[in-house]
């Protein structure tokens, strides 16, 4: 009987223990995971109707870090999904001031020490006093050093609703976190976009300090670029490099401005939307605006003068200067060259204005973004070089290139020379031009046109002076055999420009397309040689056909399907990996994630090199990538096999004979040597 009573008591005790212990185990408010401790904390020990402050406390190990709302070049911010009882609602995360965390040539935004992400929870008046509420949060985070480890946890805190509001043991964390929060007032600003810059202007001065910009979106600024802070009479301006992924459709942008100790949020509107407000500002501000415009026009004028010295322009203008007749010319002829220049610059300005109104953004030399235009300019400059070498056809029919428009002095030839000079100058940007064009591209239409015309006036000035002051032509050496040598010497700057255009074309397209362009230029030279070797009609027709086909070769390659080597990349699959190893193949496995900064650095440094591409070209070598950006149990299991809790992980397999785990920081030579070693082992086995 006593034994039965003991068993019954034991049974009841187990039931009670289970009833009490199970919620405690399930409703924990803290978690410890690799390299980080996480805890759900409350500022007060009880809840009350109204606002109650909760927080997620993140404490990474030394030298590890978590992320701000915008992680920067890589990473992922903590995420909170609240599980709340009826009558309770959650507000937005209050983000502490972040710091810049440079890693290699990239930059992240985050917290290297412990941080508290405060969140207001509001209880409605319908919640009764004495009620016990479970406040739960599903959390995910990323903690990084050289490698990155994602984490997940569900934390719960149980509190009563009471009129007595006593501070909790963690109340001090909230006081410390409030000191690290930006000001609550959101300040207004305006921003402008140039071809490669983001300019943010506040209509107030900031105290002395190292002020930095932290954009809310990762697609606004180049995070690793320097931020220039300029204080003027009544405003503070920040200038930073624009992100390659910036989308001009964004009408307003959000920033955090911080010096590391204090900070405030900024909501910036596009400058065009507040242009009227700017013009109606105080007299001092208006004077500053007009001064800026005048300075920009002056800089554009000086830049236009210097543009004459660019290697693609100087040969044309030199030939024109040497060929000028010393006879008197009419006023119209004297104005023709400058007219051609100004008309061409006006056309550029009008095209840019039209695109601005359509919602797109263009800059000086915008046509250089098209590989077709770059290829056409390469053909044009090569043809000019050939003309300077006396290889190209001469005569009035080909005026504007050699012995045609450039060496004639009528109105048409002068005007055409001005147009040609602007076309060949368009790939270049002279000193002083960049800042002036930056103002032009974000200003009103009239200011844009005025700055471009100033640029044109400066560009037209040197040669126009010779037209209006014919006495200066006496300073030019008399014609003689030296002119032929000098003309041929001027061909070399043109060929240097062709080399630069080939480099631009190759970066825009592919090595195969650049090879096709080189082949097209070779065909062009053959056509010119054939034309000069004989005066027969069929030879001229054949030369023309060769010249046309030379231009069509690179165009054909540009429209052909891409043969990117990354098309052979295999998605990670355990069964396929095992099959390849069993087949005595070489496999390099890359475990990566979009939020892993070390992974991205290695991919840019080691996995895009030509040596790596050549190594992959071997038939027995395979490249397998596991993407752990999102949760994947198969990849996690693979990582655990190598005692890793995060990415990156790089393993090179030589069939089933051996495997080599590579370091987390890679170089191209290190990867290629590992692949070569594995290939040799496989070949020796075969």
* Prediction pTM value: 0.50
Q: List, for residues 153-207, the tens digit of each pLDDT value.
A: 999 999 999 988 899 999 999 999 999 999 988 898 888 877 678 888 888 888 8
| Alpha carbon separation from 536 to 92, 394, 539 (Å, rounded) | 82, 16, 5
Any idea which fold 566-685 has? Glutaredoxin (3.40.30)
Are the C-beta atoms of residues 58 and 36 closer than 8 Å to each other?
Answer: yes
Quick one: which of 270, 290, 295 has its CA closest to 436? 295
Report the share of the chain in percent with pLDDT over 70.
Answer: 72
pLDDT (0 to 100) of residue 13: 33
Decide: residue 105, CB within 10 A, 0-12 exposed, 13-18 middle, 19+ buried. exposed
CATH number assigned to the domain covering 183-279: 2.60.40
User: Residue 680 and residue 673: Cα distance in Å, rounded?
Assistant: 11
DSSP 151: E
DSSP 272: G
Range of lowest pLDDT (179-188, 228-237, 430-439, 547-556): 430-439
What's the mean pLDDT in 41-50? 94
Confidence of residue 126 (pLDDT cuts 50, 70, 90): confident
What HEC string does 589-617 produce?
EEEECCCCHHHHHHHHHCCCCHHHHHHHC
Task: Please indicate whether residue 311 or residue 346 has the higher confidence score (pLDDT).
Answer: 346
> For residue 610, how many C-alpha atoms fall within 13 Å in the half-sphere facing its CB?
2
What's the mean pLDDT in 585-595? 89
User: Residue 187 and residue 177: Cα distance in Å, rounded?
Assistant: 22
Identical fold between 25-179 and 183-279: yes
Beta bridge partners of 626: 591
Neighbours of 100 (CB within 10 A): 16
User: Residue 176 and residue 512: Cα distance in Å, rounded?
Assistant: 59
Task: Please indicate whether residue 256 or residue 429 has the higher confidence score (pLDDT).
Answer: 256
Per domain, the residue ranges of the chain are: 25-179, 183-279, 290-484, 566-685
Helix intervals (H) in 27-118: none
Q: Does the structure show a pLDDT above 70 at 569?
A: yes
Task: Please indicate whether residue 508 or residue 571 has the higher confidence score (pLDDT).
Answer: 571
Q: Residues in the chain, how many?
A: 686
At 631 the three-state DSSP class reads coil
Beta bridge partners of 57: 39, 116
pLDDT (0 to 100) of residue 431: 53
> For residue 484, how many C-alpha atoms fall within 13 Å in the half-sphere facing its CB?
4
Most confident option among 2-11, 80-89, 406-415, 487-496: 80-89
Q: Does the structure show a pLDDT above 70 at 68?
A: yes
Q: In what order do the strands lie in the sheet with 148-160?
A: 79-83, 132-144, 148-160
What's the mean pLDDT in 464-472? 71
Instruction: Please give the mean pLDDT across all residues of the chain.
Output: 77
Most confident option among 53-62, 395-404, 456-465, 497-506: 53-62
Q: List, for residues 11-36, the tens digit of each pLDDT value.
A: 333 333 333 333 333 458 999 999 99
CATH number assigned to the domain covering 25-179: 2.60.40.1250
């Amino acid at each position: 009987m006593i034994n039965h009573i003991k068993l019954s008591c034991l049974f009841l005790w187990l039931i009670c223990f289970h009833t009490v212990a199970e919620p405690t185990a399930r409703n924990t408010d803290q978690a410890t995971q690799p390299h980080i401790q996480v805890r759900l904390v409350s500022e007060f020990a009880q809840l009350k109707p109204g606002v109650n402050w909760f927080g997620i406390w993140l404490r990474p190990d030394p030298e590890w870090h978590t992320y701000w709302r915008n992680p920067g070049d890589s990473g992922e911010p903590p995420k909170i999904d609240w599980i709340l009882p009826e009558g309770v609602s959650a507000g937005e995360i209050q983000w502490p001031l972040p710091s810049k965390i440079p890693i290699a040539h990239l930059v992240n935004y985050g917290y290297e020490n412990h941080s508290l992400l405060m969140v207001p929870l509001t209880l409605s008046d319908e919640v009764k006093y004495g009620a016990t509420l479970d406040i739960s949060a599903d959390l995910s985070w990323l903690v990084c050093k050289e490698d990155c480890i994602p984490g997940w946890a569900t934390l719960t805190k149980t509190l009563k609703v009471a009129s007595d509001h006593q501070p909790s043991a963690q109340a001090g964390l909230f006081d410390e976190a409030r000191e690290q929060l930006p000001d609550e007032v959101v300040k207004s600003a305006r921003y402008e976009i140039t071809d490669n810059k983001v300019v943010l202007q506040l209509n107030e001065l900031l105290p002395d300090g190292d002020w930095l910009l932290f954009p809310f979106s990762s697609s606004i600024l180049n995070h690793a670029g320097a931020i220039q802070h300029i204080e003027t009479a009544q405003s503070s301006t920040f200038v930073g490099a624009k992100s390659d992924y910036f989308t001009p459709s964004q009408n307003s942008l959000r920033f955090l401005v911080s010096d590391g100790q204090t900070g405030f949020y900024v909501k910036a509107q596009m400058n065009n939307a507040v242009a009227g407000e700017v013009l109606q500002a105080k007299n001092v501000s208006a004077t500053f605006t007009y001064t800026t415009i005048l300075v920009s026009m002056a800089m554009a004028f000086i830049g236009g003068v210097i543009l004459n010295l660019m290697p693609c322009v100087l040969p044309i203008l030199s030939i024109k200067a040497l060929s000028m007749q010393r006879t008197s010319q009419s006023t119209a002829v004297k104005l023709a060259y400058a007219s051609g220049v100004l008309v061409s610059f006006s056309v550029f300005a009008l095209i840019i204005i039209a695109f601005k109104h359509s919602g797109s953004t263009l800059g000086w030399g915008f046509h250089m973004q098209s590989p077709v235009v770059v290829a056409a300019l390469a053909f044009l400059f090569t043809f000019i070089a050939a003309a300077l070498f006396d290889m190209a056809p001469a005569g009035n029919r080909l005026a504007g290139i050699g012995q045609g428009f450039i060496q004639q002095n009528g109105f048409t030839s002068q005007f055409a020379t001005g147009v040609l000079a602007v076309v060949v100058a368009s790939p270049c940007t002279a000193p002083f031009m960049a800042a002036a064009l930056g103002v032009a591209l974000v200003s009103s239409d009239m200011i844009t046109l005025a700055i471009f015309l100033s640029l044109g006036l400066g560009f037209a000035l040197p040669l126009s002076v010779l037209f209006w002051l014919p006495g200066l032509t006496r300073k030019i050496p008399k014609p003689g055999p030296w002119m032929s040598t000098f003309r041929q010497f001027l061909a070399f700057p043109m060929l240097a420009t062709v080399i630069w255009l080939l480099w631009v074309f190759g970066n825009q397209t592919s090595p195969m397309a650049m090879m096709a362009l080189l082949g097209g230029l070779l065909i062009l030279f053959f056509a010119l040689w054939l034309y000069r070797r004989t005066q027969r009609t069929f030879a001229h027709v054949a030369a023309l056909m060769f010249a046309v086909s030379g231009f069509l070769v690179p165009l054909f390659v540009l429209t052909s399907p891409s043969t990117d080597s990354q098309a052979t990349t295999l998605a990670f699959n355990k069964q396929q990996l095992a099959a390849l190893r069993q087949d005595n193949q070489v496999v390099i496995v890359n475990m990566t994630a979009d939020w892993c900064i070390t992974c991205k650095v290695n991919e840019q440094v080691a996995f895009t090199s030509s040596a790596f591409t050549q190594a992959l070209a071997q038939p027995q070598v395979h490249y397998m990538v596991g993407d752990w950006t999102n949760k994947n149990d198969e990849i996690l299991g693979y990582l655990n096999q190598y005692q890793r809790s995060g990415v990156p992980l790089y393993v090179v397999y030589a069939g089933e004979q051996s495997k080599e785990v590579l370091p987390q920081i890679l170089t191209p030579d290190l990867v290629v040597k590992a692949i070569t070693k594995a290939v040799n082992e496989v070949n020796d086995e075969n």
